[in-house]
């Protein structure tokens, strides 16, 4: 693997050098252009990650760039760019979001601190200037790291790791104390290993590697326990082709294609630390997907050079399961925690982010060889199925009751499969008592927004309960949808298929004015891809509404709509090749 990563890092170095701005007259001189915007940014997915690749190439005796004077000069220009784009308060701004951002700065701090340590270990005189410049950048971040805040749950562990990295290098005790202030908030992970953001494609890997660094630099080995939990959970959240399950993510990896590649470094580190055969097997699986040096905190080439023990194969991989039925968070006391919202000290406003009340919602995973199934709560899709190359990316349920998307509240495991349920209430609000009305003297009008709406009494409340019984049969799966009341609620089931496959059905009708969207009116439907197929029965077309108000429809897939009207008693049967 070391030789392969060396080749990948060298190739990436060569390609990124062509993107560096070498015009000294440019404000962005020394920076590396972002492929999307064409502008150079100083963040951890911008110029800073190229600095990591170049420093690793210069330090690797097997690299064709080892101690190359021309690359060292380009590296120095990139670090000069970083210093110029560091604000007076010590922070950086990615450019498209999060200006003067402590967490984005913390990502860079962790990466540059690793580079600083690597260059220090090299004891290569020509690189001392660059090392000192990186040290200057890091020292300038002290005020922001010691006082700065966050947006999201994982940002806390990024800042903790950054503070630990600075403490390792500079030894200032206040850095350690600030890290401990973040850590005293406690770990936001379930006993089954799921982080708040449920982001299997991106932010799991961030929290995991950051806590690994923090455990090392702050001498807090207990911080590795949540890392172990998440890394173990992930063996159930990989499709047969190595793609990670992102169907229910609470972040931007939702519904996108990700592999285990960014988990590689952490799996490898933990396998060596614990002598763990399962982690070694998962590292091997992740390694097959690696085609990039890794994002800055997970930069694999840096990892190999900073931790030479990774270059050995001291821990032999074990066997990973390819047949299982696992409910994640099935025993987690989520309802009890949600009921605490509103108590003193809980449930305050979360500005510029969200509360993530879906944390700990149960998800079921079933794997049988090349067939992979997800059954989900608190997600925009309630079911997904991969069978070889045939991909049913999601099953969505929407109605005119709320209106819009229906997400499942609960999941119960049954002998044949799983029972999903959802309940929603909607009512009307009466008059405001006279003694609760605000004074209007001197006002030109009585604006709606100045009225105390919380004083209105609820009237005519209605409840809509929907159940979906998901069960496995000898040839595939079955979804049985029921909803007794209210009557005459316009409902739709949206089937999301991979765009690479072919749909065929005796009653499949394109929806005018839409992209890749069809009504499935009756009979059978077959989706085929790469020699694999799934056959679905039966279609339904009880109303003509193709879009439900308040519902959003994903792009990049083929959408098939089944329309129904309550009361519901509808069965979708899926047979597999």
Pair 409, 517 in one domain: yes
- Res 255 pLDDT > 90: no
pTM (2 d.p.): 0.94
Q: What is the pLDDT of residue 339?
A: 87
Instruction: Assign 533 a pLDDT band (cuts: 50, 70, 90).
Output: very high
Pair 244, 170 in one domain: yes
Mean per-residue pLDDT for 62-90?
98
Per DSSP, 54 falls in state: H
Per-residue pLDDT of 120-130, as tens digits, reads 999 999 999 99
Mean per-residue pLDDT for 139-162?
96
Q: Is residue 543 part of a domain?
A: yes
Measured over all CA atoms, what is the biggest interatomic distance in the chain, rounded to whole angstroms?
81
Q: What is the pLDDT of residue 509?
A: 93
Percent pLDDT > 90 in the chain is 86
C-alpha 350/C-alpha 106 separation (Å) is 21
Q: What is the pLDDT of residue 257?
A: 84
Pair 319, 381 in one domain: no
| Residue-wise DSSP of 10-25 | HHHHHHHHTTB---TT
Chain centroid to Cα 437, Å, comes to 45
Measured from the Cβ of residue 124, the count of other Cβ atoms closer than 10 Å reads 15
Mean per-residue pLDDT for 34-38?
89
Pair 402, 316 in one domain: no
Q: What is the pLDDT of residue 354?
A: 81
Cα Rg, the chain, nearest whole Å = 27
Pair 265, 385 in one domain: no
Tell me the β-bridge partners of 492. 398, 563
Strands (E) in 224-344, as ranges, are: 323-328
Q: Is residue 437 part of a domain?
A: no
Q: Is residue 330 part of a domain?
A: no
Q: Is residue 55 part of a domain?
A: yes
Mean per-residue pLDDT for 24-38?
93
Mean pLDDT computed over every residue of the chain? 94
C-alpha 197/C-alpha 189 separation (Å) is 10
> What's the total number of domains in the chain?
2
Mean per-residue pLDDT for 466-484?
96
Contact 577, 533 (CB under 8 A): yes
Q: What is the pLDDT of residue 323?
A: 95
Mean per-residue pLDDT for 433-458?
93
C-alpha 390/C-alpha 402 separation (Å) is 33
Residue 488, exposed/middle/buried by CB under 10 A (0-12, 13-18, 19+)?
exposed
- Which segment of 349-358, 464-473, 504-513 scores lowest on mean pLDDT? 349-358
Pair 176, 65 in one domain: yes
Structure tokens at 527: 């989706």
Per DSSP, 31 falls in state: -
Pair 204, 82 in one domain: yes
Which residues make Cβ contacts (< 8 Å) with residue 536, sequence separation at least 6? 495, 524, 525, 526, 527, 572, 573, 574, 575
Instruction: Assign 252 a pLDDT band (cuts: 50, 70, 90).
Output: low
User: Residue by residue, what is the 3-state secondary structure of 286-306?
Assistant: HHHCCCCCCCHHHCHHHHHHH
- Long-range contacts at 416-419 (CB < 8 A, ≥ 24 apart): 416/471, 416/472, 417/375, 417/469, 417/470, 417/471, 417/472, 417/477, 418/327, 418/364, 418/375, 418/469, 418/470, 418/471, 419/467, 419/468, 419/469, 419/470
Per-residue pLDDT of 219-237, as tens digits, reads 999 999 999 999 999 999 9
Angle between helices 47-59 and 2-17 (to 10 degrees): 130
Q: Is residue 454 part of a domain?
A: no
Pair 293, 148 in one domain: yes
- Res 452 pLDDT > 90: yes
Instruction: Assign 12 a pLDDT band (cuts: 50, 70, 90).
Output: very high
Q: Is residue 341 part of a domain?
A: no
Q: What is the pLDDT of residue 314?
A: 85
Domain ends where: 289, 323, 357?
323
- Res 348 pLDDT > 80: no
C-alpha 100/C-alpha 91 separation (Å) is 5
Contact 475, 576 (CB under 8 A): yes
Residue 40, exposed/middle/buried by CB under 10 A (0-12, 13-18, 19+)?
buried
Mean per-residue pLDDT for 131-149?
97
Q: What is the pLDDT of residue 294?
A: 87
Instruction: Assign 515 a pLDDT band (cuts: 50, 70, 90).
Output: confident
Residue 432 to residues 375, 436, 453, Cα–Cα distance (Å) = 44, 7, 7
Q: Is residue 451 part of a domain?
A: no
Q: What is the pLDDT of residue 449?
A: 93
Pair 405, 260 in one domain: no
Q: Is residue 540 part of a domain?
A: yes
Residue owning tokens 């449920």: 198
3-state secondary structure (DSSP) of residue 567: coil
Pair 476, 400 in one domain: yes
Contact 471, 414 (CB under 8 A): yes
The stretches of 18-152 forming alpha helices (DSSP H) are 47-59, 69-84, 102-122, 128-140, 142-147
Residue 563 to residues 399, 560, 566, Cα–Cα distance (Å) = 10, 10, 10
C-alpha 451/C-alpha 444 separation (Å) is 15
Q: What is the pLDDT of residue 210?
A: 98
Mean per-residue pLDDT for 201-205?
92
Contact 565, 544 (CB under 8 A): no
Residue 417 to residues 50, 420, 440, 473, Cα–Cα distance (Å) = 48, 10, 59, 9
Pair 126, 265 in one domain: yes
Domain ends where: 265, 294, 323?
323
**Residue range of the domain that includes 497:** 370-425+462-576
- Res 134 pLDDT > 80: yes
Measured from the Cβ of residue 85, the count of other Cβ atoms closer than 10 Å reads 20
Mean per-residue pLDDT for 439-457?
93
C-alpha 105/C-alpha 575 separation (Å) is 51
The domain that contains 228 carries what CATH number? 1.50.10.100
Which residues make Cβ contacts (< 8 Å) with residue 39, sequence separation at least 6? 28, 33, 95
Instruction: Assign 293 a pLDDT band (cuts: 50, 70, 90).
Output: very high
**Of 313 and 417, the one with more pLDDT:** 417
Pair 223, 311 in one domain: yes
Domain ends where: 308, 323, 338?
323
């Amino acid at each position: 693997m070391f030789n392969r990563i060396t080749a990948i890092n060298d190739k990436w170095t060569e390609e990124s050098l062509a993107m560096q701005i070498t015009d000294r007259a440019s404000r962005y001189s020394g920076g590396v252009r972002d492929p999307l915007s064409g502008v150079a940014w100083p963040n951890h997915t911008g110029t800073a990650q190229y600095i990591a690749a170049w420093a690793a190439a210069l330090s690797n005796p097997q690299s064709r760039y080892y101690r190359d004077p021309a690359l060292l000069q380009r590296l120095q220009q990139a670090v000069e760019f970083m210093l110029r784009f560091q604000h007076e308060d010590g922070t950086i701004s990615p450019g498209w979001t999060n200006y003067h951002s402590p967490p984005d700065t913390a990502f860079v701090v962790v990466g540059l601190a690793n580079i600083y340590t690597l260059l220090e270990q090299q004891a290569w005189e020509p690189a001392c200037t660059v090392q000192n410049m990186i040290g200057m950048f890091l020292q300038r971040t002290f005020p922001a790291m010691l006082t700065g805040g966050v947006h999201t749950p994982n940002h806390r562990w990024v800042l903790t790791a950054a503070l630990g990295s600075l403490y390792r290098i500079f030894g200032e005790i206040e850095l350690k104390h600030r890290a401990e202030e973040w850590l005293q908030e406690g770990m936001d992970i379930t006993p089954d290993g799921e982080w708040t953001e449920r982001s299997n494609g991106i932010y799991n890997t961030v929290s995991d590697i950051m806590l690994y660094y923090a455990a090392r630099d702050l001498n807090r080995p207990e911080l590795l326990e949540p890392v172990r939990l998440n890394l173990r959970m992930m063996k159930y959240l990989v499709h047969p082709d190595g793609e990670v399950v992102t169907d229910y993510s609470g972040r931007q990896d939702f519904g996108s294609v990700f592999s285990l590649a960014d988990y590689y470094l952490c799996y490898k580190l933990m396998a060596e630390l614990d002598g763990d055969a399962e982690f070694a097997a998962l590292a091997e699986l992740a390694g097959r997907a690696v085609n990039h040096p890794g994002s800055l905190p997970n930069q694999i080439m840096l990892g190999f050079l900073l931790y030479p023990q990774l270059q050995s194969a001291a821990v032999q991989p074990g066997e990973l399961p390819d047949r299982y039925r696992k409910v994640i968070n099935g025993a987690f006391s989520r309802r009890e925690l949600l009921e605490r919202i509103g108590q003193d000290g809980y449930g305050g406003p979360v500005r510029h982010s969200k509360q993530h009340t879906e944390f700990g919602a149960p998800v079921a995973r079933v794997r049988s060889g090349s067939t992979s199934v997800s059954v989900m709560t608190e997600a925009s899709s309630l079911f997904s199925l991969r069978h070889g190359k045939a991909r049913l990316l999601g099953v969505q349920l929407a109605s005119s009751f709320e209106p819009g998307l229906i997400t499942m509240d609960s999941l119960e495991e049954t002998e044949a499969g799983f029972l999903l349920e959802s309940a929603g209430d909607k009512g009307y609000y009466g008059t405001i008592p006279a003694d609760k009305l605000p004074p209007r003297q001197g006002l030109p009008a009585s604006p709606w927004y100045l009225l105390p709406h919380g004083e209105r009494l609820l009237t005519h409340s209605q409840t809509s309960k929907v159940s979906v019984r998901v069960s496995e049969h000898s040839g595939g799966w079955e979804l049985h949808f029921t909803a007794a009341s209210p009557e005459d609620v316009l409902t739709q089931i949206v089937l999301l298929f991979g765009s690479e496959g072919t749909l065929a059905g005796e009653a499949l009708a394109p929806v005018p004015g839409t992209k890749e969207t069809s009504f499935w009116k009756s009979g059978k439907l077959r989706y085929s891809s790469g020699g694999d197929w799934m056959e679905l029965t039966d279609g339904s077309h009880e109303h003509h509404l193709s879009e439900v108000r308040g519902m959003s429809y994903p792009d990049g897939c083929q959408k098939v709509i089944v329309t129904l009207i309550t009361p519901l008693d509808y069965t979708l049967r899926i047979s597999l090749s």
